[in-house]
Amino acid sequence: MDDKLKEIRASSVTVEVTDVSTGRTFRRTLPIDYLETANALRLAAENAHGEPAELVFYSGTGVNRLRDLTGGGPDKDPCGGHGGH
């Protein structure tokens, strides 16, 4: 992601696929909420029953931050002890 952008948001996505057997390319615009940050890519929509569904793909940075938040990261003080406290 561009260093100046903090996030990318959209209320729909366009998917382009090429069929393996025919070689034909198809494009579809789908009603999927898209959110991309340095930590993750989140896709949210409704399932066949109209219930919320979402997929989240974490970046390496996002996985490390998630580990740190849940206590699985290394035992180190990122602030240097705040002056020796």
Residue 51 lies in a domain: yes
Identify whether 78 is part of a domain.
Answer: no
On whether residue 80 sits in a domain, the answer given is no
pLDDT by residue (tens digit) across 17-46?
999 999 999 999 999 999 999 889 999 999
- Report the alpha-carbon distance of residue 33 to residue 9 in Å, rounded: 8
CA separation for the pair 70, 33 (Å, rounded)? 27
Assigned token pair, 68:
């740190």
Give pTM, 2 decimals. 0.65
Residue 59 counted as domain residue: yes
Domain hosting residue 60, numbered range? 8-69
Of 8-12, 17-21, 47-51, 63-67, least confident by mean pLDDT is 63-67
> How many domains in the chain?
1
